[in-house]
Amino acid sequence: MARLNPEQRAAIETTDGPLLVLAGAGTGKTRVLTTRFAHILLTGRAKPWQILTVTFTNKAAREMRERISLLLGSPAEGLWLGTFHALCARMLRRHAEYVGLTQSFTILDTDDQLRLLKQVMAPWQIDIKRWSAPGLLGVIQRWKDRGLTPERITPTEDSDFANGHARAIYTAYQARLKQLNACDFGDLMLHVTEILRTRPDVLAQYHRLFRYILVDEYQDTNTIQYLWLRLLAKHPEGPANICCVGDDDQSIYSWRGAEVENILRFEKDFPSAKVVRLERNYRSTRHILGAAAGLIAHNSERLGKTLRPGREDAEGKKVSILGVWDSDTEARMVCEQAEKLRAQGHALKEIAILVRAGFQTRAFEERLMQTGLPYRIVGGLRFYERAEIRDALAYMRVLSQPADDLAFERIINVPKRGVGPAGLQKLHAAARANNLPLTGGTKKLLEDKALKGKSAAHLRQLMEAFASTRDILAREGHVVAVEHLLEESGYLDMWRQDRSPDAPGRLENLKELTRALADFGTLGEFLEHVALVMDHDENGQDDYLSIMTLHGAKGLEFDTVFLPGWEEGVFPSQRTLDEGGLKGLEEERRLAYVGITRARQEAIIFHAGRRRIYANWQPSMPSRFLDELPDEHVIRHDEGGGFSQQGLNLSESVFDNGPIIARRRKDPMLEAAPALQLGDHVRHPRFGEGIIISADRHHVEVSFESVGTKRLLSSFIEKI
DNA sequence: TTTCACAATGTTTTT
DNA sequence: CATTGTGAAA
């Protein structure tokens, strides 16, 4: 306590009644949460299992658990601490029968959901071009985010999608899930909330249990999570001891159903609520904070909060803005700077490249590979999303749940067993006719000798593999059993015979999977873990540079942060702008705010004059956010409108804040545009001289002497 | 049923 | 571009 500032202390000591803690970036939020947890225990207000602690990511949950263990001096076990979904899964296992599931229901991954939805959609003959299955799945998920069960969808809402059939398909989809004794991710929240809503006895049980509720990242909660929390928090007698921690300026998940309104409305929801603001930032330098604060001030709907430097010494360097010729130069310069930092003795772990969207990572990856700098793409293709891992998991699911039709469908023809769509239909028919799951139907057909040819032989072998594995499972445990199954089913052989270059890596991954399996007591525990915690600690804790999306970087911090791609259309993203309008823009701005505030020492922003998107080059203009950064906190290294080829010479100055090069770009397109006409002779810094062959407001097409015809932003060329 | 060739067609962010 | 889906031939 002694090491905390007065606001932090207030946030911890206000234990009873509703409390909203508005915690700006780097203001010691996690510390407050964990200390508060310990404080409640140590003052005897509650036992560890009487505190419900909800986080948004598995990582946050893990960290919190570790820090609480540290504070308590013993491993934190038996706590109700986890993500919304993990906690709901735990509750739903206890009360599954109330929503027509059994205690052993399966949780579907995205692949399964999609496959199932496609099957369900088939009878409607929806125009798949216009209403793709993933699109419709998104619609359903957003309904679930808002707590809308099929019966609650109003006709108005329905008609917007899939020619008015969306609600009917949703209904059918839910019915099919129930048949399969399965639920998707959204259902975890939806079902539990439904149970709490309709079963007062169950709700009362949790009211008795949870004396205190702690919620992290409250600004990211969606409607269903809000409803769930409110049900649990609103005790019939006495005020709710709910403490929500969040930052409206870091709300960046509205596309996933998050409602900033939840945090904006907190004081209305809980009338006696107290509000504590944490505004002292101990992470970043004064310039970084100034730049971030200046930027976020352009947003309108805010609770209002100003980050103040918590350390007196922290003047630091200004935020750098670098304009470069193209995206290749950008990648090169970022990597060179990173290399230089390492040469100066900085750890690569303290450097991050934060991008807006996944496709931007490739350029850096290629460059770093050439350079030989160790790097890691965080949150890219994750371990459990790889095909071979999902296949292996499907084998395990069938082993543990023979009725898991979706898993069986996934592996029935992997490796090839001569069972295509037609064969699968036959199995389905047999299963339905005998009221059996697919595995049962298959067995039946084999016994009846109703299958012929190689598919029969292969399937018989597969069923035998499962049968023998079950014996082994009982006798020798799940690790040996799974190894046996993958061997006997021919799955491992399939990859061993595969001559493609990534096959050895896949086998390696499968080995890693069986290794992870050993950390769990039973197969069921392992599968539950995988379904909910889709991440995996990869071995080796070397010093590597991180490349990740801005979303992925939330909650992390680094000494140096590179922020490439600050260009209109990329960041702010065109798509968000199109779909979300002003709200979308404000969310992008919050994302920019998150990005800048990840840096402890230094933030370096890049924008390129042109960028390769798919196969061809696209001209791009600097992000409007650059103009919103206050001049006293940034230093702009644009040269020649930001399109210099001598960017390398500039790089010296980036880190010592050398001479400020005059800022010439305001809106280059409009500045240069009027003077150009068809037939004009022009010069381009890179392509040399040419003649304009077409022109519109922003672009011109120029036939160059050396490189042929190019389409360019008119600001890049000069008339001769 | 599988395999191959070719076209099309999007590409944010994730529990 | 890189993946995914579609259609025709083996």
- A441 HSE (CA, 13 A, CB side): 22
CA of A376 to C1' of C1 (A): 22
Q: Is the pLDDT of residue A313 over 70?
A: no
A128 closest-nt by C1' vs CA: C5
The predicted model scores a pTM of: 0.82
Task: Return the axis-axis angle of helices A387-400 and A523-532, rounded to nearest 10°.
Answer: 140
Q: Is the pLDDT of residue A651 over 50?
A: no
pLDDT reported for residue A687: 55
- The average pLDDT across A320-338 equals 90
pLDDT reported for residue A676: 59
Q: What does the alpha-carbon distance between residue A591 and residue A78 come to, in Å, rounded to a whole number?
A: 36
Q: What does the alpha-carbon distance between residue A670 and residue A712 come to, in Å, rounded to a whole number?
A: 14
Percent of chain A at pLDDT > 90 equals 38
Which range scores top for mean pLDDT: A155-159, A177-181, A234-238?
A: A177-181
- Are A406 and A530 found together in one domain? yes
Q: What does the alpha-carbon distance between residue A491 and residue A678 come to, in Å, rounded to a whole number?
A: 64
DSSP annotation of A226 reads H
Name the residue closest to B11, CA to C1'.
A359
A58 closest-nt by C1' vs CA: B15
CATH of the domain at A325: 3.40.50.300
CATH of the domain at A471: 1.10.486.10
Radius of gyration of chain A (CA): 29
Domain end point (choices A518, A536, A554): A536
- Are A44 and A75 found together in one domain? yes
Residues of A forming the active site:
29-30, 216-217, 250, 598
Q: Which protein residues have any CB–strand C distance under 7 A?
A: A 128, 614-615
Instruction: State the binding site of A.
Output: 23-30
Which is it for strands A718-719 and A708-713: parallel, antiparallel or unpaired? unpaired
- Are A528 and A555 found together in one domain? no
- Are A485 and A508 found together in one domain? yes
pLDDT reported for residue A606: 93
CA of A594 to C1' of C5 (A): 38
Contact A229, A213 (CB under 8 A): yes
Q: Is the pLDDT of residue A377 over 70?
A: yes
Q: Note the helical H segments in A153-244.
A: 155-159, 166-179, 185-198, 200-209, 223-233
Domain end point (choices A536, A563, A583): A536
Tokens of A687: 């392509």
- A345 HSE (CA, 13 A, CB side): 0
Domain count, chain A: 5
- The average pLDDT across A626-644 equals 75
pLDDT in tens, A73-114: 877 778 899 999 999 999 999 999 999 999 989 888 888 888
Q: What does the alpha-carbon distance between residue A259 and residue A582 come to, in Å, rounded to a whole number?
A: 16
Q: What are the contacts of A420-426 at 24+ separation with CB within 8 A?
A: A423/A455, A426/A451
pLDDT band for position A673 (50/70/90)? Answer: very low
CB-contacted nucleotides of strand B (7 Å): 1-3, 9-15
Structural domain includes residue A665: no
Task: Return the axis-axis angle of helices A647-656 and A327-343, rounded to nearest 10°.
Answer: 40
- Are A547 and A521 found together in one domain? no
A614 closest-nt by C1' vs CA: C1
Report the amino acid identity of residue A687.
F
pLDDT in tens, A441-493: 999 888 888 887 788 888 999 999 999 999 999 999 999 999 999 999 999 98
Structural domain includes residue A659: no
- Are A389 and A504 found together in one domain? yes
pLDDT band for position A503 (50/70/90)? Answer: confident
How far is the first Cα of chain A from the last one, in angstroms, to the nearest whole number? Answer: 70
Q: Three-state SS for A491?
A: helix
- Are A26 and A68 found together in one domain? yes
CB-contacted nucleotides of strand C (7 Å): 1, 6
- The average pLDDT across A674-679 equals 58
A380 closest-nt by C1' vs CA: B14
Structural domain includes residue A645: no
Structural domain includes residue A161: yes
Q: Which residues contact A197 (CB under 8 A, 6 or more apart)?
A: A203, A231
A184 closest-nt by C1' vs CA: B15
Nearest to A116 by CA among A410, A393, A414: A410
Nearest to A390 by CA among A410, A416, A419: A410
Which is it for strands A80-83 and A51-55: parallel, antiparallel or unpaired? parallel
pLDDT reported for residue A716: 53
Name the residue closest to B9, CA to C1'.
A129
- Are A530 and A545 found together in one domain? no
- Are A449 and A530 found together in one domain? yes
Q: Which protein residues have any CB–strand B distance under 7 A?
A: A 56-58, 83-86, 110, 129, 134, 141, 185, 255-256, 356-359, 379, 413, 416-423, 455, 534-535, 549, 551-552, 573, 575-576, 579, 613-614
Q: What does the alpha-carbon distance between residue A384 and residue A114 come to, in Å, rounded to a whole number?
A: 17
pLDDT band for position A127 (50/70/90)? Answer: low
Element (DSSP H or E) covering residue A322: strand A319-326
Report the amino acid identity of residue A411.
I
User: Rounded to 5 degrees, what are φ and ψ at A281?
Assistant: -95, 125
CA of A501 to C1' of B5 (A): 22
3-state secondary structure A22-53: EECCCCCHHHHHHHHHHHHHHCCCCCHHHEEE
Structural domain includes residue A426: yes
Instruction: State the binding site of A for ATP.
Output: 23-30
Tokens of A223: 């409607």
Structural domain includes residue A363: yes
What's the domain range around A493? 385-536
Structural domain includes residue A672: no
CA of A708 to C1' of C8 (A): 40
- Are A168 and A81 found together in one domain? no
- The average pLDDT across A289-302 equals 90
CA of A379 to C1' of B14 (A): 10
- Are A514 and A583 found together in one domain? no
CA of A292 to C1' of C4 (A): 41
- Are A71 and A196 found together in one domain? yes
Structural domain includes residue A631: yes
pLDDT reported for residue A643: 41
Element (DSSP H or E) covering residue A684: strand A681-684
pLDDT band for position A537 (50/70/90)? Answer: low
Q: Is the pLDDT of residue A38 over 50?
A: yes
pLDDT in tens, A223-250: 999 999 999 998 887 778 999 999 999 9
CATH of the domain at A157: 1.10.10.160
